[in-house]
Structures are given as C-alpha cells and as structure tokens.
Amino acid sequence: MDIKIDTDHVRAKAEAHRVIKRKATLKKVLSYTAFVGPALLFFLVIQILPFFMGIYYSFTSWNGVSSSVEWVGLENYIKIFTSDQKFMDSFLFTTKFMFAAVIISNVIGFSLALLLNAALKTKNILRTVYFIPNVIGGLLLGFIWQFIFVKGFASIGSLTNIPFFKLAWLGDETTAFWGIVIVFAWQISGYMMVIYIAALQGVDTSLLEAAKIDGANSWTMLKSIIIPLILPAFTICFFLTISMAFKIFDLNLSLTGGGPFNSTQSVAINIYQEAFQNNRYGLGTAKSILFFLVVAIFTTIQVLATKKREVEA
C-alpha cells in the first residue's frame, strides 16, 4: 500500500513538472513571437514577398499597369544580353564608379579616423562636422553640388583663371564621372570614419606603447599592429561602400540625370527608366534580378576575402 502511494505521488509530481515546463515553453514562445513576430511579418511582406514576385514578373512582358500578364520565359534575359547596349554601358559605368568610390571613401574615412582618434581638443566637433554630409538626403546633396559645380566653380575659375575650376564638370563624360565620385566620397566618408574610430578605440594601447619602446615608428605600428587588429572594421566598411556605390540612384539622378548622353547612367537609373518610364516592368524587373545577383556576388567575394585576411592576421 505504501509503495502504491509513493508511486502515485511520483507520477503526480512528474505530471505537474511537465505542465510547468509546457507553460514555461509556451510563455517563451509567446514572448519571442510578440517581439520578433511583427518585425518578421513586415520583413516577409515588404522584402521577401516582393522579391519572389519580382522573380515571377521578370519572366513576363507586364507593363506594370494592365491586369493581363503574359509569360515570355527567358525572353527578357536574352534581350538584355543580346541587344540592350544601354544597360551594359550603365553596368560598366556603375562598376568603374564602385571601384573608384570604394577606394577613395575608405582612404578618406580611415585617414580622418586616424586624425580624429588623436588627442585633439576639437575632435568631437570635427567628428560631427565630417559626419553631417551623411545625414543630408542624396537628392538634396546632389542639387547642392550641382550648383557648386556649375555656378560656384565657374565663378571661382573666372576670378582666378585656375584651369581646375574652369572645367565643364557635369558637361563632360570624364569630369562628370569624377564629379559623382567626389560627391559620393564626401557624403559617405564621415560614416566610414565613425566605424573606423570605433575600431581604433578598441586597440590595446599597451601594444602600441610596447612597440614604441622597441623602436617602431608610426608607419610600422600602423602596418603591423593597428591595421591587422581592426580588419573587421575594414570588412564592414568595404561591404557597406560596395553595396552603396552599386545602388547609387538619387545622387546620380540629381547631379547628372545619367548625362551627358547617358555616359554617367547608373544601373539603378536604367532599371527605373525601363520599368516606370518605358512601362516595360517585366524587362526592368529582369534587369533588377541580374543586378541583385551581381551585387550579391561582389559583396560575398569581398566579405570572404577580408574575413580570410582577418583569420590570417
């Protein structure tokens, strides 16, 4: 009899423990759902669903307005690679722009970070000043610099006769290209500077002091100690600048509009014009899918390469 009572007691206790455990699990699931659920829902509705719809529309000849959608298979993709020279030119421009903008933006951002990480009395003010261009909208920034290039530089050139200021900055293919690079680098370098400063502040100063005692100069410490220690920051900054440079739209639109003669037309502007001005939504979507794949490949290769350097360092 005692044994039966003990057995029933153990079973009841085990059952109560299971009930408590189920309630705790349910509470945890509900709390996770309450916090993550809305964000996940918005992500699915705003990002994932339109992405797969875009893949579908890239195989159609939909004009973006009518209710009828005609399936054309790979016709849009074949047209892009065989007869759309304007898209290829815009892709070539965007690729050249990406390489130039990434290098210049990161060099300026890292240089500013090294300068403002030193013990300067005005470093906090200067950090704010250099970061301000990043908070200005691309369209507004483009129109401001358009005025500077067209009116400001022309006025300075007429007063000083300096050839640099007398160039047709937005009216020539070469100078227009470098004009967009200059404005992009001016806008984004402050953002990169903040990331590099955060990384530099995490460097152990005792290592630098030990290197100084051993006779290392500033260049040696930068090359052999500082840069290897902050390689994760380079990974982040390269990733951000590559993706931003590839996706340039508003700055390009407000500065040159893709001119002169479409010589500075980015891929994003080409896709926009194809889909919303020429009403060839299916073809524009096919271009955007190809563009997505190219950006994904570039950024993946960059992240893998810099991550490998982090491990080796």
Please report the pLDDT score of residue 265 as a whole number: 92
Please report the pLDDT score of residue 207 as a whole number: 85
pLDDT of the chain along its 313 residues, tens only? 444 445 666 676 767 777 777 777 888 888 888 888 888 899 899 989 999 999 999 999 988 888 888 899 899 999 999 988 999 999 999 999 999 999 999 999 999 999 888 777 788 888 888 888 888 878 888 889 999 998 898 899 888 888 888 888 888 888 999 999 999 999 999 999 999 999 998 888 888 888 888 888 888 888 888 888 899 999 999 999 999 999 999 899 999 888 888 889 999 999 999 988 888 999 999 999 999 999 999 999 998 888 887 755 5
> Domain residue spans in the chain?
1-57, 75-312
Q: Are 187 and 252 in contact (CB under 8 A)?
A: no
Q: Are 99 and 248 in contact (CB under 8 A)?
A: no
Please report the pLDDT score of residue 246 as a whole number: 92
Residue at 40: amino acid letter: L
Cα separation of 55 and 71, whole Å? 12
Please report the pLDDT score of residue 52 as a whole number: 92
Please report the pLDDT score of residue 9 as a whole number: 63
Q: Token match 């293919």: residue?
A: 173
Q: Are 59 and 73 in contact (CB under 8 A)?
A: yes
In terms of CATH architecture, what is 75-312?
A: Orthogonal Bundle (1.10)
φ, ψ dihedrals at 216, nearest 5°? -75, 135
Element (H or E) spanning 195, and its range? helix 173-200
Please report the pLDDT score of residue 215 as a whole number: 82
Residue at 100: amino acid letter: A
C-alpha separations of 129 from 194, 211, 247, 253 in Å: 12, 33, 25, 25
Q: What confidence tens digit (pLDDT) does each residue in 94-122 have?
A: 999 999 999 999 999 999 999 888 777 78
Cα separation of 18 and 240, whole Å? 48
Question: CB burial class (10 A; 0-12, 13-18, 19+) of residue 251?
Answer: buried
Cα separation of 194 and 112, whole Å? 9
Q: Are 176 and 261 in contact (CB under 8 A)?
A: no
Contacts of 107 (CB under 8 A, 6+ apart): none
Please report the pLDDT score of residue 75 as a whole number: 92
Please report the pLDDT score of residue 29 as a whole number: 81
Cα separation of 101 and 129, whole Å? 21
